[in-house]
Structure 1
Amino acid sequence: MKIGLYFGTFNPIHVGHLIIANHMAENADLDQVWLVVTPHNPLKKKSTLLDDSHRLQMVHLATEDFPKLKPSDIEFKLSQPNYTVNTLVHLEEKFPNHEFSLIMGEDNLKSLCKWKNYEVILQNHSIYVYPRISSEPENLELKNHPKVHLIDAPIVEISSTFIRNNIKEGKNIQPLLPAKVWEYIDHNNFYKK
């Protein structure tokens, strides 16, 4: 089975994440997309980052109506700080019959050469890249790499930071969130202070 791994803090998961994940599941050469919730780095103080379990629960709520999208807490079990290359090795050991690829935005592809052991990642895994609006000139030296696949996905410029700030200011951002995620956030009074 071909699995695309879409990493994020998902703080909170929003419709933009779902649009990209579903587009990849339906239009790239993938059987499923796993939304990998990245854990809180214990070395960093990030007061706006919700507890891992709450962010994972919101991804569960957001994806339950999409059979090709699956939440993953795989990185919760790995020592921190963790690197993507380690996550990939762990997944290959745990799921030897799956083929894992990465899903990332163009902005991440630009910085991929700074990742730990990025050559190993590129050697062993395909990377599916979705477009991002960027003010930087096109500087994607890796875009022609045989393992890199540029996918013509919708450009969605919604950020979790924007959502958190608007909730804090008492603005209605319901259209930007899956209904069950909005209800969960509202019920728990998340991001209000």
Structure 2
Amino acid sequence: MNRKVGLFFGTFNPIHTGHLIIANHMAEYSDLEEIWLVVTPHNPHKKKSSLLDNHHRLEMVYRACEGYGKLKPSNIEFDLPQPNYTVNTLAHIQEKFPTNDFCLIMGEDNLKSFHKWKNSEVIIENHEIYVYPRIAPGKVADEFKTHAKITRVAAPIIEISSTFIRKSIKESKNIGPLLDEKVWKYIDEMNFYK
């Protein structure tokens, strides 16, 4: 039987405790056997100019995942054409790892706009989607409220954003509690976001 692996995509610019709480919750309180934190080189919905280089963000994800046996960093999108679209990544990753059943992990805010994603119907036809709660305006489309391939997971509601962390670092605020200690040390040593 195939392993059920959750894919948690993000620019992780930087990865923070909110990401870790959600990823770990999915690993421990759902039927997903492993969570891959997929570092996205360029999210088509975000400005690229504010992104740290791929290898720095991947390094922070590696550091953050230490000690979490079910969380695995992934750079699978680094060699794919950019901007990356989830549907293309899913096809590539399924072909590369055929003994895994890949599921998509997303916040409820993304589910609200999922119908706008490139080939969203192909994604939901071929992959389960695990949704964690997020506070955001808008409504989830009726077709997704009770869809058989969408599982809502009662994860904690985490309202920490990488944007807030970057801004706080620039303003010399102490954001230590929002980051894994190893990630904060790396950011500080590299003088990022200042």
**TM-score clears 0.5:** yes
Is residue 2:139 matched to residue 1:127?
Answer: no
The answer on whether the counterparts of 2:8 and 2:36 sit within 8 Å (CA) in structure 1 is: yes
Aligned to 1:144: 146
TM-superposed deviation, 1:80 = 1.1
The answer on whether the counterparts of 2:111 and 2:140 sit within 8 Å (CA) in structure 1 is: no
Alignment of 1:53-64 (within 5 A): 53-64=55-66
Per-residue displacement from partner, 1:5-60 (whole Å, max 9, x unpaired)? 00000000000000000000111110000000000369x86332100000000000
Q: Output the CA distance in 2 between the equivalents of 1:76 and 1:159.
A: 23
- TM-score, with structure 1 as normaliser: 0.94
Identity %: 68
- TM-score, with structure 2 as normaliser: 0.94
TM-superposed deviation, 1:116 = 1.1
Alignment of 1:1-193 (within 5 A): 1-40=3-42, 46-136=48-138, 138-141=139-142, 142-192=144-194
1:146 is matched by which residue type in structure 2?
A
Question: What secondary structure is seen at the aligned counterpart in 2 of 1:185?
Answer: helix
Q: Which runs of 5+ in 1 are unaligned?
A: none
TM-superposed deviation, 1:135 = 3.7
Per-residue displacement from partner, 1:143-163 (whole Å, max 9, x unpaired)? 211000011000000000000
Question: What secondary structure is seen at the aligned counterpart in 1 of 2:49?
Answer: coil
Q: Output the CA distance in 2 between the equivalents of 1:123 and 1:22.
A: 26
Per-residue displacement from partner, 1:96-145 (whole Å, max 9, x unpaired)? 10000000000100111111111111111000000011243x43421211
2:96 is matched by which residue type in structure 1?
K
4+ runs deviating over 4 angstroms: none
Q: Output the CA distance in 1 between the equivalents of 2:50 and 2:177.
A: 21
Q: How many residues align?
A: 190
Question: What secondary structure is seen at the aligned counterpart in 2 of 1:170?
Answer: coil
The answer on whether the counterparts of 2:42 and 2:83 sit within 8 Å (CA) in structure 1 is: no
1:139 is matched by which residue type in structure 2?
V
Question: What secondary structure is seen at the aligned counterpart in 2 of 1:60?
Answer: helix
Q: Output the CA distance in 2 between the equivalents of 1:134 and 1:118.
A: 20
Q: 1:30 to 1:45 in 2, by over 3 A?
A: closer
